[in-house]
């Protein structure tokens, strides 16, 4: 399979997202099976481009599809990239919905932080206003498990979370907690 057709769609969305023909094409894509498109090797690029360049109603449709199985998408090689784009480009309310859904299950943030693709999603959740503090709380609380994992340890180091208690209080204080 070639990604040429998908690349054309991505460029159309980047350079003429409000053109009536581009809008019609994007709307047609949104009628397809979005979860399959999010998980596709090239299709995920089109969906991510829709999130960054498309109309608000198109972004809302993608977020709606992601919310159907957010934990699975967070761990998928390609769909996790779409989820990161949604956490960055969706409306504030949609970002909150996605972040809340990701953190709804006990231990979910730490489990994602220990996953090769999920860790990128956790980084994006840490950028969501009003959710970053809670996500950071879960990471600090689960740091013992994170330190035993390659991706978790790397994330803790990026965030400057040290093993001693004084540093934990310092990080929590910097986040307003």
Mean pLDDT of 50-71: 95
* pLDDT at position 16: 86
Mean pLDDT of 28-46: 92
> Per-residue pLDDT tens for 145-171?
999 999 999 999 999 987 654 444 445
* pLDDT at position 53: 93
Judged by phi (left if over 0) then psi (alpha if -120 to 50, else beta), residue 15 lies in alpha
Predicted TM-score of the model (pTM): 0.86
3-state secondary structure of 139: helix
Query: Which has the higher per-residue pLDDT, 6 or 165?
Result: 6
> Per-residue pLDDT tens for 123-147?
999 999 989 999 999 999 999 999 9
* pLDDT at position 108: 96
Give Cα separations from 139 to 54, 61, 94, 123, 168 (angstroms): 33, 30, 22, 11, 11
Going by pLDDT thresholds of 50, 70 and 90, the confidence category of residue 177 is very low
* pLDDT at position 1: 54
* pLDDT at position 173: 52
* pLDDT at position 166: 46
Judged by phi (left if over 0) then psi (alpha if -120 to 50, else beta), residue 116 lies in alpha
* pLDDT at position 2: 64
Res. 86: pLDDT tops 60 = yes
What is the percentage of the chain residues whose pLDDT exceeds 90?
72
């Amino acid at each position: 399979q070639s990604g040429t057709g998908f690349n054309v769609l991505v460029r159309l969305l980047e350079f003429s997202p409000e053109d009536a023909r581009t809008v019609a094409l994007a709307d047609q894509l949104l009628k397809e099976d979005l979860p399959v498109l999010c998980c596709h090797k090239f299709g995920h690029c089109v969906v991510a481009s829709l999130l960054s360049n498309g109309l608000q109603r198109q972004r809302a449709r993608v977020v709606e599809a992601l919310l159907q199985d957010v934990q699975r998408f967070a761990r998928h090689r390609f769909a996790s990239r779409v989820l990161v784009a949604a956490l960055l480009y969706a409306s504030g309310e949609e970002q909150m919905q996605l972040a809340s859904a990701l953190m709804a299950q006990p231990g979910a943030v730490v489990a994602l932080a220990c996953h090769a693709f999920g860790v990128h999603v956790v980084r994006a959740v840490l950028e969501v206003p009003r959710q970053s503090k809670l996500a950071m709380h879960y990471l600090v609380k689960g740091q013992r498990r994170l330190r035993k994992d390659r991706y978790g340890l790397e994330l803790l180091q990026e965030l400057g979370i040290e093993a001693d208690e004084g540093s934990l209080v310092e990080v929590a204080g910097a986040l307003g907690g």
